[in-house]
Amino acid sequence: MSIQIENLSFSYLQPSGEKVDALKNVSFTIETGDFVGIMGPTGSGKTTLLQLLAGLRLPTSGRIYFNGEEINAKGYDRNRLRQTVGVVFQDPEYQLFATTVEKDVAFGLKESGLSRQEATDRVRWALETMGFDFEKVRNQSPLALSGGEKRRVAIAGVIARKPEILIFDEPIAGLDPFGRENFLQFVTERNQTGTTIIMTSHNMEALAEYTKHLLVLKEGRLIDAGATREVFTRLKQRYNGAFQTKAQRIAILLAEGKLMFSPAVVTYGDLLSALKQELTGGGRG
């Protein structure tokens, strides 16, 4: 499922009557099977963009095309749109509502046309994919689970419909290192089976290590887009150190000490191999 965005703008109306431009004339293309990260400070329009992509808001102006079809056009099948795009919001814990885990995950399958058996199999698959023991967890109340488990149930409910596009808003905020790693491994696997992934994050390491392309938003404008590595090497001219990876910051500090510096150092692995070269006498100097 390729996505094409043309001159997309969105304005909120404040209760005071003041108009706030959350997105200004944004255009980009996402190819089928891509893994796209969206970065930018709080208030830069990331969540608004995700909501527009999921068809949850109507743009003030501009167009969104899925496989060449405009999703906000009159004749476009909204049901199909809901099947195509799965969204996991920030704090997905709050998306849960049913009396049992199984019912919660199955809810999204109601209009899917699957038989009862197929639906149960799908729920089992989704929960097992998220690391649960299906028989153990199916009759539990989702509200009695821990925060991390609730999050995984919420994600199971979204992937159960096997959407072609999976959208995550700040999925790893608040997760500990292993939780983060597990989640990123999971989306990478989904991505490798052909699902298009779109994810916002404030974690520069996660974006640098896992995404293929990056969109950078600032004050509602798309200020950069491209292959992740290239965007990161360009970023330092646009933002202060906070929007660099740790490896980049260290490489820059080393350059100030007249040591190795390669603009290509973006990830931990890059820095480690550059240092090995430099410090075993293989580098210049």
Partner 1 sequence: MLVEGKNICYSYAFGGFSFALRDVDLNIARGEFVAILGCNGSGKSTLVKHLNALLQLQQGELKVAQIDVRNEKEVWLLRRRCGMVFQNPDHQFVAPVVEEDIAFGLENYEVPRNEISGRVRSALARVEMSGYEKRAPNTLSGGQKQRVALAGVLALDPEIIIFDEATAMLDPDGRQEVIKIMEKLHRAGKTIIAITHYVEEAVAADKIILMHQGRVLACGSPQTVLTNLDLMKEAELIPPFPVRLYYDLQQAGIYLNRCPLTEEELVEEICQFKSKI
- Interface contacts to partner 1, rule CB under 8 A: 40-43, 91, 146-148, 170, 173-179, 202, 204, 240, 242-243, 246-247, 249-250, 253-254, 257, 259, 268, 271-272, 275-276, 278-281, 285
- Find the shortest distance in angstroms from Cβ 229 to partner 1: 19
Q: Which is nearer to partner 1, 174 or 194 (CB)?
A: 174
- Find the shortest distance in angstroms from Cβ 16 to partner 1: 9
- Find the shortest distance in angstroms from Cβ 67 to partner 1: 33
Q: Which is nearer to partner 1, 34 or 169 (CB)?
A: 169
Taking residue 34's Cβ as centre, other Cβ atoms within 10 Å add up to 18
Q: Which is nearer to partner 1, 17 or 177 (CB)?
A: 177
Q: Which is nearer to partner 1, 34 or 270 (CB)?
A: 270
- Find the shortest distance in angstroms from Cβ 266 to partner 1: 14
Q: Which is nearer to partner 1, 24 or 152 (CB)?
A: 152
- Find the shortest distance in angstroms from Cβ 220 to partner 1: 14
